[in-house]
Amino acid sequence: MTRLIAECSGRPGPWKIAAMVLSLALGMAAGADSLANFSRFSEPERTLRLRPDDAMALTTAEDRRRALVDPTATDIPVMATIARTALRSEPLTPVALRQLAVAEVMAGRQASSDRLLDLAHRLSRRELGTSWLLINRSLDQGDAAGLARSFDEALTTSAGAAELLSPALVDGLFDEGVRGALVPYIRSDRPWMPAFLRSAAAGPDAVSNTALMILAAGGLPDTPRYADTDAYVLTGLAARRDFPLAARYLRKAVRLPAGFTTNGAVGPASLDSRAGPFGWRFKDGAEGSALAGDGNAIIVRAEADRRVPVSDRILLLAPGRYALNLRGEVPDGRAPATAEVALRCIGSSTTDLIVGPAVIGTTSGPVNLPFAVPADCPAQRVEIVATGKAIDGEGELTLSDWRIDRL
């Protein structure tokens, strides 16, 4: 965690920014769990005019004030006085103990601050400000396990904690120690983890670290709550063009056969929704659609005189010469459609691999499409575009016997 701690102690980084965002919300979060105390929380200044020593109003007003202006050394006596006044009114108030802990650490009394913070934590596991200070203490101490434990507790017990804390935790995933500390929480299927992982996978800077963390956990728990998480991760890796890690993730985390990204077939692996963009994706629109047919086939449909992209997937072919083989046939009794099959490199100067693109018509004969993958083409996108040839209504074409052969 050395790099992570250094980033926190130096120039403002993602964790410091997250701390500022959190501080702005502490005034809104404090006391929100108690409807009976709503007026003391929502209008603390008004409450203080009636009851100057009201603990909740004092601490809420102080949180809101510090959310706007960071405390300085000259503020220490004021902070301590407010916190002690609140404690005299309502002894063992967690927020007041947390605020007093801040005043103590700013005065250089770390041991006293730690005792107050631990007491606040024992009194309430739902006080978000205390959780955040515990997280920062773990950072200062290089305690990745303690950091993960505090995040887990806050995200499990505090309403609104996910919105406030998850971005900071996502930003911390670059640190291997943090990722390793979170692995047990993936394996134990903590309730906040699925949403957190989807959020992390959506960030272009965090998706690779998210994938590495899931790989370290040996994959995701086999529960419905994670049903779309693998696809989120793989979509993010594809967008980042981190194809070597995507291939490893497909093999080790999703546990799909390694060859499915190179054979072009329409089978169980390439139709598995967990594969994300590395499996066949079918569109279902008013002007055209596609779906998997029986066996190794894709059925494409398009309205008359409409040319519509209906299906695509990503392949991971090594450099070399290949041939894409398939067969096109209009089912008996159906109006005709044609299909264009294009194969293009992703993330390289080479564009079309199958020049044309190849048009597959109504013949039932086999189609052989040779192509070459250059060295600067780490991944390839197959796309099917359907065109309706009916005079009126929808045309249909079945594309079967998909196979890629190395020449």
User: Does some domain include residue 216?
Assistant: no
19 plus 132 within the same structural domain: yes
DSSP state of 190: -
174 plus 304 within the same structural domain: no
| pLDDT for res 398 | 93
| pLDDT for res 28 | 40
Q: How far apart are CA 144 and CA 274, in angstroms?
A: 30
Cβ neighbour number for residue 341 with a 10 Å cutoff: 22
- Choose the final residue of a domain: 124, 154, 183: 183
- Choose the final residue of a domain: 133, 165, 183: 183
Do residues 143 and 5 touch, judged by C-beta distance below 8 A? no
- SS3 at position 240: helix
| pLDDT for res 30 | 43
| pLDDT for res 351 | 78
| Count of domains for the chain | 2
Q: Which of the residues in the chain have pLDDT under 70?
A: 1-51, 53-56, 61, 67-68, 349-350, 355-357, 362-364
- Choose the final residue of a domain: 183, 217, 241: 183
| pLDDT for res 163 | 84
Instruction: For residue 395, give the CATH number of its domain.
Output: 2.60.120.260
User: Does some domain include residue 57?
Assistant: yes
Distances (CA, A) of 148 to 226, 255, 375: 20, 27, 42
292 plus 174 within the same structural domain: no
Task: Tell me how many helices (H) and strands (E) the chain has.
Answer: 17, 10
302 plus 160 within the same structural domain: no
Give me the domain span that covers residue 390. Answer: 281-406
User: Does some domain include residue 227?
Assistant: no
Instruction: For residue 34, give the CATH number of its domain.
Output: 1.25.40.10
170 plus 292 within the same structural domain: no
